[in-house]
Amino acid sequence: MIRSNAMNQNLLLAALMTILAAPCRADDIGSLRSEPRFNAAVESALTAYRPRDIFAAETSCAILDIKTFQPFSLPETLRQVEPCLRAVSARHALALTAEPGAVAGSKPGAALGIILRTREASALSSGMRDLSHSLDIRGWRLLGHQVAVRRSGQPEAFARSAAQKALDQCVLLAMVREIKTSEDFIRYYGRCITRDPALKVRDIQPWPGQELGVTLTCAASEPETRSLNGIVAVNAGMGPVQIRILARSQN
């Protein structure tokens, strides 16, 4: 993660270098410090480098700071933040998109949260600096879900889903199955998940926008449901195929 606090000293140094780089005589330097125009120049330079809350400037981002009695699920959160990210992207040329992914949690290991993808490569650019600051003041969470920022094309490692055990123990008649789509996985392996009483999965559907991904609707508790988020691997004849799982509770 890119943290804006670590940049403060560098930003101050860069601002002062910008001011002192202007032509002046040696005997002017001492008097500059006490002149109002010098102080104004310092403040102006620091303002240019000071990070801004890019979410606060967009009306479509107001939802990020609301307080709710019941937290949004991850799929709901992704839908809610989409208009905000479009507005921020248009203003700051960041091309932000949100997707579920493995982020560092407060406990050891990875937790499923929100990956913000951006085409912006430089961590020192004003857009990335402002984005980092905006997330920093929100505790790197959006609507209760932890956030990480990644450049577009950078792969994400998902945690292993608790549904893997049900697949490993499932007895199937045919040994080789070609898995090219989410529908293929559901056709051949879906019942291995829905018939396991421990998982309490009531429905399994293709994950929109994910070629090899499914969504689960569960009657389990929230912690049990979260344990299903991640990846599973199944044999597809030519080797193991990984399927992404996104689970939500119907309770």
Q: How high is the pLDDT of residue 108? A: 41
Q: How high is the pLDDT of residue 231? A: 86
Six-digit token string for 188: 């051949």
Q: How high is the pLDDT of residue 107? A: 47
Contact 81, 66 (CB under 8 A): no
Convert the pLDDT of each residue in 109-147 to its tens digit.
Answer: 456 788 898 875 555 577 888 898 999 999 999 998 889
Considering the entire predicted model, what is its pTM? 0.52
Whole-angstrom CA distances from 79 to 73, 114, 141 are 10, 12, 15
Using H for helix, E for strand and C for coil, what is the string for the chain?
CCCHHHHHHHHHHHHHHHHHCCCCCHHHHHHHCCCHHHHHHHHHHHHHHCCCCCCCCCHHHHHHHCCCCCCCCHHHHHHHHHHHHHHHHHHHCCCCEEEEEEEECCCCCEEEEEEEEECCCCCCCHHHHHHHHHHHCCCCEECCEEEEEEECCCCCCCCECCCHHHHHHCCCCCCCCCCCCHHHHHHHHHHHHHCCCCCCEEEEEECCCCCCEEEEEECCCHHHHHCCCEEEEEECCCCEEEEEEEEEECC
Convert the pLDDT of each residue in 186-197 to its tens digit.
Answer: 999 999 999 999
Convert the pLDDT of each residue in 46-99 to its tens digit.
Answer: 455 578 899 998 999 999 998 877 878 888 899 999 999 999 998 887 889 998
Name which residue leads in pLDDT, 153 or 180.
Answer: 180
Residue 237 and residue 231: Cα distance in Å, rounded? Answer: 18
Q: How high is the pLDDT of residue 237? A: 64
